[in-house]
A and B are shown apart, each in its own frame.
Chain A
Amino acid sequence: MAYNCVVLAKQVPDTQRITGKVMNDDGTVNRSALPAIFNPEDLNALELALQIKDRFGGRVTVVTMGLPGATRILRESLYRGADAAVLVTDMRCAASDTLATSYILSCAVRRMDYDIVLCGRQAIDGDTAQVGPQLAEKLGIPQITYIEALEDLHDNTIQVRRNIGNGWQSVKSRLPVLLTVTGEANTPRVAAAKHLMKYKKARTPAEATAEIKAINPNAVEAEIKELSETRCDALKARGLLIEQWNLDQVEADLTWCGRGGSPTKVHRIQSVVLAAKESKEVEPTDEGLAEMIHELIDDKIIA
C-alpha cells in the first residue's frame, strides 16, 4: 500500500551561527546577520517521508509558508527526493503567530491528498513546537509528537516510538495522522545528483515571470504575461513547476490570518545582556585559588 506524505518545512535564520549584531539599533532583529537555512528537524521530517516513499511508494509533497526566498528550501527538498513542492506566500501572512500560521497551513494541506502529515518537532528560530499540534487540531486528525523511530506501517495503521522526555513510548494510530519528528529519528540524506540535475530548473510562477522579464526587458505586460503562462505550462508538463498559492487560492478566511488573526503580540524585545554584578580576577596559582575557596566557604557557598 502506498502512502501520500505532506511535509511542512520552514526556512529559518540559522540561530546557531550568528554573524555580526543580532539586534539593530532600533531594537528590531537584524535578519541579515542570520543566514537562512532549512529548519534542521524539518529535514528529519522530510527524510522520514522519503523513507516511507522508498519502502511503500506514494508521493511526498513539501509545503512551506514564507517569503518567495523560501523557494530555496523547496528546491532543496526536490533535490533530496520530494515529488512536488508548494510555496504559500502572501503579504497578508505577515506577522502571523503560530495559531494563524497553522490555520493558513491547514487551508493549504486540506487541498491535498494525504495519509501522513509530517513536521519537524520545532523550528530553531522560535522553538515553540506549536504549529504541528495546532495544524493537527485544525485538520481534525490525531497528532503524535517527538517521533524517534517509525516502527511499523501497514494498511491503515502506523506505529512509532516517541520521546517523552524521561523515556519513550511506543504508540499506534490509524491514518491519517500528523507526526512531529525529532533530530534523533534519522540522518537526512543529501541531494542526489539526478534530482539536482532535474530540479535545478524548477521554478515558481513568480520566478519564471521574473526570468522572462529579465530576458525581455522591452516587452509590454501582456507579452510578459503570455510568455510566463507558456513557460509555466511547459514547466508543469515536466514536473518542474513549484506551485505558488496565495491566501485567496487556499480559500483562507482573512480574519484568522496575519497580524489580525494572531492572538499573541510582541510587547517588547530585548537583547540578552547577562553580566555578573561584581566579579574578580583570580590568579591561577595555589595562593589565588586557596583564597577564592576560602571566600566561598566564608560566604557559605561551599560547606
Chain B
Amino acid sequence: MIDVNRQGEVWVFAEQHGGKLEETPIELMSKARHLADTLKVKLAAVLPGDEVRHLSTELIHYGADKVYLVEHPLLRSYQTNSYAKVILELIGKHKPQIVLYGATAAGRDLAPRVASAAKAGLTADCTDLQIGTHKAGKDGEVHENLLFQIRPAFGGNIVATIINYDRWPQMATVREGVMPMPEPNPNHHGVIVTETVRLAQDDLPIEILQEHKRAKKVDLKAARIIVAGGAGVGSKENFKLVWDLANCLGAAPAATRPAVDLGFIDHDHQVGQTGTTVRPSLYIAVGISGAIQHQAGMAQSQKIVAINNDPEAPIFGIAHYKIVGDLNEVVPKMIRAIKEKGVKD
C-alpha cells in the first residue's frame, strides 16, 4: 500500500488485446477525467502490451493527460502475473491516488491480484464513481475528496458506497456499459511516458495453448432501441413476437435471465446484473415482471415501455408508458400502429 497522496494522479488501466483497446476502459475515461478535474490532478492511462504505442494517441484523445507506455514482448498476451507486476511497479514509483480498471474478465482477474500484493483496497463492479467527503461516526475524523465507489450488492437489492481513506491507492473495477462511451477529441493533448519493467519467463507461469474468440450475436450496448422479452412471453415460439416488434423498429432483441435460462434466446441477448447493462433511448419490456436484477441493467434507459398482464408487476414502477394487457394482443397491435405511422426500419 502507499500512503495517502493528495497529489497522486487518477489512473485507468488501458486494457488491450491484440493491439486493440477494450471498450470498458474507454467508457471509463470520461468519468476518470471528471474525477481528475475535481481533484485537480492529471489523468493517466497505463498501457502495458507489445507494440501498442499507437494506442497512446487514442487514449489521449479520450482524455488522458499522460500515457504510461510499457512495451515488452512478454506482455503480448494478457497474463495475471506479468501484468500485475507492471501495475505494481508503476504504482510504487508514481503513487497514484486512484487506479481504475474495467470489470472485464481480465480486469477482474488482474485488479484483485494487484490489490492483494499492494495491500490496498479494491471495490468490484462499480456502477458509479464520485468524489465526496466521509465522516467516520458523529465526531469522527473527516476525510475529504475521497473516491466514492458505488456498487450494487446483495443481488442488486441495495446500493453500497465504499471508501478507502488510508490504504491507497483507492482502486475499483467498473462494470461494462454503465458509463457512456465518450467522443474522442483530436485536440486534446497529452504526453507519452515510456516505462521499462524487467520481465522474465518466470513472470508467465501460465501457458496459453489456444484461444477462441467469438463475436457477440448482438451489440446491445450500441442499440438505440431495445425490445426485451421475459419469461412471461411463454415459449421460444412465442418469442417471435419480440423479434417481430424489434424488426419493425430496427431495434435489438433482448431478454431477461429467466427467458435466457428457459432457452427462448441466446445469452448474448441478456440484459441485467449478470448480462449486459444498457441505456438505450427506448426500452420496450414485453412480459417482464422487472426483478431488481433485471432493472439494474436497464433502468437508465431514456424511455421505458412495459407490457404486462399483471398490473402489480414491479416493471411498472420504472416504466414511462404502462400497458396492462395480454402481450399476445398488445404486441401485434403495436406493430400495426408502428407500420401505420410509417416508421422505417
Q: Which residues of B contact A130 (CB under 8 A)?
A: 108, 111-112, 115, 122, 124
Q: Which residues of B contact A293 (CB under 8 A)?
A: 334, 337-338, 341, 343
Contact pick for B321, options A129, A159, A268, A282, CB 8 Å = A282
Contact pick for A129, options B124, B207, B338, B340, CB 8 Å = B124
Q: Is B249 an interface residue (CB 8 A)?
A: yes
Max chain B C-beta neighbours (<10 A), residue from A22, A98, A125, A137: A137
In the complex, the number of residue pairs spanning A and B with C-beta atoms less than 8 Å apart equals: 250
Query: A85–B210 Cα gap in the complex (Å)?
Result: 36
Q: Which residues of A contact B158 (CB under 8 A)?
A: 22-23, 29, 269-272
Contact pick for B304, options A125, A137, A163, A276, CB 8 Å = A276
Q: Which residues of A contact B322 (CB under 8 A)?
A: 279-282
B317 in contact with A127 (CB, 8 Å): no
Max chain A C-beta neighbours (<10 A), residue from B105, B164, B212: B105
Q: If the complex has contacts A13-B154, A99-B115, A99-B116, are A297 and B124 also in contact, measured as CB distance less than 8 A?
A: no
Q: Is A264 an interface residue (CB 8 A)?
A: yes
Chain B residue nearest to A143 (CB atoms) is: B80
B333 in contact with A276 (CB, 8 Å): no
B121 in contact with A263 (CB, 8 Å): yes
A289 in contact with B121 (CB, 8 Å): no
Q: If the complex has contacts A137-B117, A146-B105, A267-B163, are A290 and B122 also in contact, measured as CB distance less than 8 A?
A: no
A15 in contact with B154 (CB, 8 Å): yes
Q: Is A197 an interface residue (CB 8 A)?
A: no
Interface size on B, residues (CB 8 A): 93
Shortest Cβ distance from residue B107 to the other chain A in the assembled complex, whole angstroms: 10
Q: Give me 20 other A-B pairs in contact (C-beta within 8 A), A127-B125, A268-B161, A301-B303 excluded.
A: A98-B124, A133-B112, A134-B116, A137-B84, A137-B112, A159-B209, A164-B105, A174-B205, A269-B159, A272-B157, A279-B316, A279-B319, A279-B320, A280-B321, A281-B323, A282-B305, A284-B325, A289-B333, A296-B282, A297-B343
Chain A residues proximal to chain B, CB less than 8 Å: 13, 15-16, 18, 22-23, 29, 34, 97-99, 102, 124-138, 142-146, 159, 163-174, 256, 262-272, 274-276, 278-282, 284-286, 288-290, 292-294, 296-297, 299, 301-303
**Which 6 pairs from chain A and chain B are nearest by CB?**
A15-B155, A284-B325, A263-B121, A263-B167, A137-B116, A134-B116
Could you pull out 18 A-B pairs where Cβ atoms are within 8 angstroms?
A: A15-B156, A98-B122, A99-B116, A134-B112, A143-B80, A145-B109, A159-B209, A164-B213, A165-B105, A264-B121, A265-B164, A266-B160, A267-B134, A270-B160, A274-B317, A282-B305, A294-B341, A302-B249
